[in-house]
Amino acid sequence: MQLQTFAEYALKEVLSRKNNKVIKVLSAGCASGEEPYTISIILNEMLDFQYSFKIDAIDIDYKMIEIAKEGIYGQYAIKDIPGEYLERYFDKIDDERYRIKEVVRKNVNLYNLNLIEDRTYEILDEDYDFIFCRNVLIYFSDDIKRKLIERFYIMLNEGGYIFLGHSESINRITSAFQIVKANDFILYRKPL
Ligand SMILES: C[S@@+](CC[C@H](N)C(=O)[O-])C[C@H]1O[C@@H](n2cnc3c(N)ncnc32)[C@H](O)[C@@H]1O
């Protein structure tokens, strides 16, 4: 699973050479919040007390951001979450629904923003360690993809990673990133 590669490979690699103790993540095209909340759970599990973290999560679809803010998920959405984590990070509402706990929410900032509007980049930071943009590039022309990837390059710390969807590649668009193979996944890393 790609998020396992994030946890076991990329996060460990970034932590091994990080000067400050803050991890910053952007979830670009976060839909109804499963991605940023899962990353928040992973960081809660993996980081020791010296570290803090912040996850900015954006989506163009207002309704998706409202669902993400509500943070209530049905059986299907939580089907891959191990029982131990379900107990630790969710409150059971009834047999069908679970509410994500405050400890997971508190580091996730949700915004209804469009990735291809300039004003989005006035709101977002320029020092992310990880950018997740999975299954979103499919919506854009090569020209827009190129502009977006240039933005991501600027917004990433040196040595930071981009995670794309399984079938997505930016090889045709740019050669600015190092290509890292970890498990069965291709990750893109901004050179140090
Ligand atoms: C297929 S979903 C992927 C969700 C999540 N990243 C994942 O892989 O599970 C694509 C998401 O990208 C969002 N999206 C599409 N165009 C966008 C844009 N220009 N700016 C921000 N989000 C966008 C859609 O609203 C949708 O929620």
Per-residue pLDDT of the chain (192 residues; tens, 9 = 90+): 788 899 999 999 999 998 889 999 999 999 999 999 999 999 999 999 999 999 999 999 999 999 999 999 998 888 888 888 999 999 999 989 999 999 999 999 999 999 999 999 999 999 999 999 999 999 999 999 999 999 999 999 999 999 999 889 898 899 999 999 998 889 999 999
Query: What are the DSSP calls for 83-114, one per residue?
Result: HHHHHHHEEE-SSSEEEE-HHHHTTEEEEE--
Task: Measure 176 CA to ligand 1 centroid, in angstroms.
Answer: 24
> What confidence score (pLDDT) does residue 159 get?
97
Ligand 1 center–CA 111 separation, angstroms: 12
Does the reported pTM lie above 0.95?
Answer: yes
Does ligand 1 lie within 6 Å of residue 145's CB atom?
A: no
- Atom 17, ligand 1: which residue's CA is nearest? 60
| The pLDDT value given to residue 78 | 86
| pLDDT score for 123 | 96
Placement of tokens 């949700």 in the chain: 110
**Model pLDDT, residue 80:** 82
Indicate if ligand 1 lies below 6 Å from the C-beta of 139.
yes
Domains of the chain and any CATH numbers: 2-189 (3.40.50.150)
Select from 32, 39, 60 the residue to mutate for testing ligand 1; criterion: most ligand atoms less than 8 Å from CB. Answer: 60
CA proximity to 153, closest of 138, 131, 122, 133: 131
Instruction: Check residue 126 and give its pLDDT.
Output: 95
**Cα-flanking dihedrals φ and ψ of residue 180, to 5°?**
-115, 130
